[in-house]
């Protein structure tokens, strides 16, 4: 049933579906350009200033804050109504597939809890096929996106070092904030990794180590736009620098890290040009007879009724799989396979990040003098991929690289602390257990690889014709397969981490798998799904052009991870933000030219 609003009926310039990285950036950029924007969010409204459980302790939560299926990253994690299983919103897997689809049904989406790791893609990452013959090239180059990376980093606040390594681009002077001093385990890792030829350098995270200069940055970021300068300066003045405590994944009430809800949506709202509709689950695009998008249908979750909103332009930013789902569910005689899908590629080339890890016990870290090691909650140092030359020469047996995220040491005691300590102490209990606990506390580290997956024909999502969710919307069915490039990479990760642990004088915990299929995380578990509506130069082999504009429907744009052509080891959020900004500039130019 379609229900008309009893209130004033209005039209917008732009509908933005989703309020996370891609949707938040689109709402902000289009609103400061003076357009009237309606943001539709499938989850509830969310206010990090009031709701973030800053400084809470594990004992203040059920089960000491441990993760459950309802709160997979722990009780205090910022995610609301999210996870790999969202009640009432199922998905299915084809036989033999065990893909996990993460959702976050809340204002700001996953930007509220994400890892804040903000790595630029490098020049190789945009032209992977040219370099090694696999996958596909992007229709743009690093140089095309670099100015948007610069401005995005200045806008959201990113700390990092000044390294400029092969395919690991640095940022121009004055763009990044200073990297925080490394922690003890990070320094120890750096020292012992150097002889292995493994570089340990400052990580780039969207966390502010100092307040932004609200007098200077807005003018740099938005030259010739007084409205943008005004709202951005106001927004920047409301952000504090990091307090060096309490996990970023819980959100940040002082706005020291990047969340759409603290960094993009507030200045967007200050323009007066944006309305946000929460609990609005978009199910289908509306098209006119000429094939142009005129609006969307959504289910108002609070009343379980179908509604419409109309606009000149529609921007999908609902997350890679959700945007593909909306397009595939938008069937009409004109678009029998779903809107903007003349290529048949909507839903195809789904990618995640390769993940594998291993832990170690490091005797050198035992009995360290007590000191505060919390830091910026995320990592201060990381390892960028370092074997480009060996790889290109075919010496590694897999085609693409990974970076290493690592940590450990004197973290706040939480649930599971000392799990498995019996293996180090021959089953100690009693007073000896307490002594062993004091000795071993702070001496455990963990190394995680995050690597590139090459898109393949066997990994995709489609509509399951037989299942709907509680909103009556047909659900996604996933198909998934890793290639040997990914499984061999995962085995290489574990082997390398074991070498690093041994080089530090440590003992590897668990089994180092030689069969990478036993080491690799399930598809979807790293929560970097991208690639279901890829960009390209040819309408036959891509869904979108280089500005993330549909080849088939000129006023339909996509600004989430679905536009990715490849999935470099660099975590996708920073690139989603930069691409979304570039898309918005194109939308404005196309509107000015009268094309849309």
Interacting residues with another protein between 105 and 124 (CB under 8 A): 107
Residue number with CB closer to another protein (22 or 266) = 266
Closest C-alpha to 324, from 487, 93, 543: 543
Residue number with CB closer to another protein (255 or 582) = 255
* Token representation of residue 511: 């089994």
In this chain, which of 147, 191, 332, 537 binds another protein, going by CB under 8 A? 191
Q: How far is the CB of 255 from another protein (least distance, A)?
A: 7
Contact set for another protein, span 59-98 (CB under 8 A): 59-64, 68-71, 75-76, 80-83, 86-87
* Token representation of residue 70: 């309802």
Residue number with CB closer to another protein (140 or 176) = 176
The span from the CA of 188 to the CA of 342, in Å, is 54
For 402, left (φ over 0), alpha (ψ -120 to 50), or beta?
beta
Contact set for another protein, span 439-458 (CB under 8 A): 441-442
Contact set for another protein, span 391-410 (CB under 8 A): 410
Q: How far is the CB of 251 from another protein (least distance, A)?
A: 9
For 377, left (φ over 0), alpha (ψ -120 to 50), or beta?
left
| Pairing relationship of beta strands 11-17 and 82-83 according to DSSP bridges | unpaired
Map residues 286-315 to x or -, x wherever contact with another protein holds by CB under 8 A: ---------x----x------xxxx-----
Closest C-alpha to 140, from 165, 157, 123: 123
Q: How far is the CB of 233 from another protein (least distance, A)?
A: 13
In this chain, which of 28, 36, 128, 325 binds another protein, going by CB under 8 A? 36
Contact set for another protein, span 463-482 (CB under 8 A): none
User: Does residue number 245 form part of the binding site for another protein (CB under 8 A)?
Assistant: yes
Residue 390 neighbours by CB distance under 10 Å: 10
Query: What burial letters (b/e) apply to 523-554, b meaning 16+ CB within 10 Å?
Result: bbbbbbbbbbbbbbeeeeebbbbbbbbbbbbb
Residue number with CB closer to another protein (255 or 485) = 255
Contact set for another protein, span 267-286 (CB under 8 A): 268-270, 272-278
The span from the CA of 218 to the CA of 228, in Å, is 7
Map residues 338-377 to x or -, x wherever contact with another protein holds by CB under 8 A: --------------------------xx-xxxxxxxxxx-
Residue number with CB closer to another protein (410 or 485) = 410
Residue 447: its H or E element = strand 444-451
Residue number with CB closer to another protein (80 or 217) = 80
User: Does residue number 261 form part of the binding site for another protein (CB under 8 A)?
Assistant: yes
Residue number with CB closer to another protein (47 or 390) = 47
Residue number with CB closer to another protein (77 or 150) = 77
The span from the CA of 586 to the CA of 576, in Å, is 15
Query: What burial letters (b/e) apply to 212-243, b meaning 16+ CB within 10 Å?
Result: bebeebbbebbeebebbbbbbbebbeebebbe
* Token representation of residue 320: 């890679």
Q: How far is the CB of 32 from another protein (least distance, A)?
A: 14
| Pairing relationship of beta strands 354-361 and 201-202 according to DSSP bridges | unpaired
Residue number with CB closer to another protein (7 or 395) = 7
Contact set for another protein, span 408-437 (CB under 8 A): 410, 412-423, 426-431, 433-434, 437
Contact set for another protein, span 207-236 (CB under 8 A): 209, 234
């Amino acid at each position: 049933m379609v229900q008309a609003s009893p209130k004033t009926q209005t039209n917008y310039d732009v509908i933005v579906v989703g309020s996370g990285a891609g949707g938040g950036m689109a709402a902000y950029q289009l609103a400061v350009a003076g357009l009237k924007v309606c943001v539709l969010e499938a989850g509830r409204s969310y206010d990090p200033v009031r709701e973030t459980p800053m400084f809470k302790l594990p004992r203040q939560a059920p089960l000491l804050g441990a993760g459950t299926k309802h709160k997979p990253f722990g009780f205090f994690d910022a995610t609301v109504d999210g996870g790999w299983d969202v009640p009432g919103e199922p998905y299915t897997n084809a036989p033999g597939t065990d893909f996990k689809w993460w959702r976050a049904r809340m204002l700001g989406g996953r930007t509220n809890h994400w890892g804040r790791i903000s790595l630029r893609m490098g020049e190789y990452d945009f032209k992977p096929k040219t370099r090694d013959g696999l996958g596909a090239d992007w229709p743009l180059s690093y140089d095309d996106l670099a100015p948007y990376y610069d401005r995005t980093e200045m806008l959201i606040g990113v700390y990092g070092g000044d390294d400029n390594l092969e395919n690991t681009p640095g940022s121009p002077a004055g763009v990044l904030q200073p990297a925080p001093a490394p922690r003890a385990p990070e320094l120890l890792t750096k020292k012992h990794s150097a002889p292995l030829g493994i570089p340990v350098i400052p990580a780039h995270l969207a966390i502010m180590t100092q307040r932004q200069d609200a007098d200077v940055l807005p003018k740099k970021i938005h030259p010739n736009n007084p409205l943008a300068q005004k709202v951005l300066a106001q927004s920047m003045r409301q952000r504090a620098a990091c307090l060096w405590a309490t996990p970023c994944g819980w959100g940040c009430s002082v706005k020291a890290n990047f969340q759409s809800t603290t960094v993009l949506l507030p200045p967007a709202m200050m323009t007066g040009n944006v309305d946000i509709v929460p609990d609005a689950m978009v199910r289908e695009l509306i098209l006119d007879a000429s094939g142009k998008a005129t609006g969307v249908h959504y289910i108002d979750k609070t009343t379980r009724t179908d509604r419409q909103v109309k606009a000149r332009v529609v921007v999908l930013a609902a997350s890679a799989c959700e945007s593909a789902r909306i397009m595939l569910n938008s069937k009409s005689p004109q678009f029998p396979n779903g809107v903007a899908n003349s290529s048949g590629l909507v839903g195809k080339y789904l990618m995640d990040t390769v993940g594998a890890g291993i832990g170690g016990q490091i005797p050198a870290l035992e009995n360290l003098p007590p000191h505060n090691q919390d830091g910026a909650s995320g990592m201060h140092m990381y390892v960028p991929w370092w074997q480009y030359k060996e790889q290109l020469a075919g010496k590694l047996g897999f085609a693409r690289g990974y970076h290493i995220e690592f940590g450990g040491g004197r973290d706040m005691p939480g649930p599971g602390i000392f799990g498995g300590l019996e293996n180090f102490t021959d089953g100690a209990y009693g007073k000896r257990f307490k002594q062993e606990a004091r000795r071993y506390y702070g001496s455990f580290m963990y190394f995680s690889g995050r690597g590139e997956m090459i898109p393949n024909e066997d990994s995709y999502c489609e509509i399951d014709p037989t299942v709907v969710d509680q909103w009556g919307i047909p659900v996604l069915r996933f198909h998934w397969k890793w290639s040997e490039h990914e499984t061999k990479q995962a085995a290489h990760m574990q082997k390398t981490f074991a070498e690093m642990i041994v080089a530090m004088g440590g003992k590897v915990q668990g089994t180092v798998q030689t069969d990478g299929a036993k080491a690799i995380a399930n598809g979807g578990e790293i929560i970097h799904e991208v690639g279901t509506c890829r960009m390209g130069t040819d309408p036959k082999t891509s869904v979108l052009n280089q500005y993330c504009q549909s080849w088939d429907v000129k006023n339909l744009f996509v600004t989430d991870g679905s536009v990715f052509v490849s999935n470099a080891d660099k975590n996708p959020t920073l690139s989603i933000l930069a691409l979304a900004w570039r898309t918005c500039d194109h939308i404005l130019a196309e509107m000015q030219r009268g094309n849309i």
